[in-house]
Each structure stands twice: as structure tokens, then as C-alpha cells.
Amino acid sequence: MQTLPKQPYPPTLWVPCDEQHAKERVIKSPRLIAKATRYSARVEVEQTSSCENTTTLRVTTEGKPETIWIERSVPEKQLDGNGMNLVDWSPDGKLLLVEAWRWTQAPNDVGVDKRILLFASGSWSMSEIETDSFLADQTDRSCWLEFKLLGFTPEGRIAMGIDITQYYEVDEQQLSDIPLNKRCTEKHETWAVDPTTQHHSPLSNDFHPRRYSERSRLHEHRQTN
């Protein structure tokens, strides 16, 4: 679990159900078009009056649209909200990098389950990039990890920022309350992750990725009631 999001955030990634947001709505992302292949992708999130979300990812190749991902709320489970943001296409236009979130719609502090997903053209098989390995040197320490997806390197590796900070079990807890051997070694680092092996290597913290796609239009919001 990671912390609740702070604004601004992509509208299709965080679709809460509360008094500040209309229920029964559909939000569509811009089309993300790969420069190399002209493949395009789009995310649509539909929310019902009962706060159930359905996130759909569609791609179009050679003029043929195809649905490659659907995630629906399961009301009896805790994580009943879901959303997705399109990050970028790879330099060769064959890999689609997205960030997917799941959360509970009930007001609380349980946080958000954030995932890094990669879709490969052709079969559109999905793989998940894990982040636990970034905590390998923090064994038995109380750490909190946040990531920020930056895009791709020119070699086709996934570029991401990693922030590792001290985890506090309650708001009132202070660093002095935590034994020295349990304290986190805080870090801010930038890494390149091989999409096949998931081996990661360091990048400069001032790394700025190129964009290998273009967006067609602004997000679309539509109330359905």
C-alpha cells in the first residue's frame, strides 16, 4: 500500500466516490499514440451510483480496436475503486507502460495499491514490474516506498523515481520512538528497469525522459445520470 494521492492527478487514475465528485460518470483519457508504430491506447473509467468502478483499456493497431484490460469493482471486497493512467509507449512503439491503482471507496487511511503494468503488442500480454527489490537493503526496517513513473530511456528501459522514507505506524509516532536498528535509510533515487529481466540500474536524479508518444486530446468527463 502507498499513500493517498495528492492533486493534481490524472482523472482516469484516481476516480473517488464522495460528495465532491459526481456519481454515475464516465471519464476517458486522451488517446496515447506511439510515434514509432502509430498504435494508440485509451483508458475509460465508468463509475456507477453505487460507487463501483470499471476500468477499461483499449488499443488500436492498424485501425483495429481491441479491449486488452478490464477491471471491475467487487463490492464485497475492500479494494473496490480502480483506475489507470497511460504513461508512455516504448521507443519502438511495442510496449505500453501504465500505472494502475486500486483503493477502498470508504473514507479511511488504508492507502492505495499502486501497480506498474506493461503490455506487449501482438498478444498484449501483461506483466507487472515489482518494486520490493528496491527495499532489499532495508531488511527489518520500517520503510515506506513511493515510485514515480517517468517513462522510457532511449534503450527501452523503464525510468522511475523511487522515494524511500521512514514509515510511522501512527501519526503521533516520532523518529526517536523507533529503535536505531529499525530506522529506515531514507533515499531519493532514479532507476532504469529492464522490462524483461526487471534488473535495475541507476540513473542520474536529473534524468529527463523523452516522450515516445503524443496525446490526441484532453480528458473527457461525462455524467451518466
Cβ atoms of 27 and 21 within 8 Å: the answer is no
Most confident of 35-39, 102-106, 166-170: 35-39
| Of 33, 154, 11, 179, the residue nearest 84 (C-alpha) | 11
74 vs 115: which has the higher pLDDT = 115
- Give the predicted TM-score (pTM) of the model: 0.89
How many CA atoms lie within 13 Å of 175's alpha carbon, on the beta-carbon side? 8
Tell whether the model's pLDDT for residue 18 goes beyond 80: no
Q: What is the pLDDT of residues 112-169, one digit of tens each?
A: 899 999 999 999 999 999 999 999 999 999 899 999 999 999 999 999 999 999 998 8
Whole-angstrom Cα distance, residue 113 to residue 98? Answer: 14
Give me the mean pLDDT over the 174-196 stretch.
93
Q: pLDDT (tens digit, 9 = 90+) per residue, 160-170?
A: 999 999 998 87
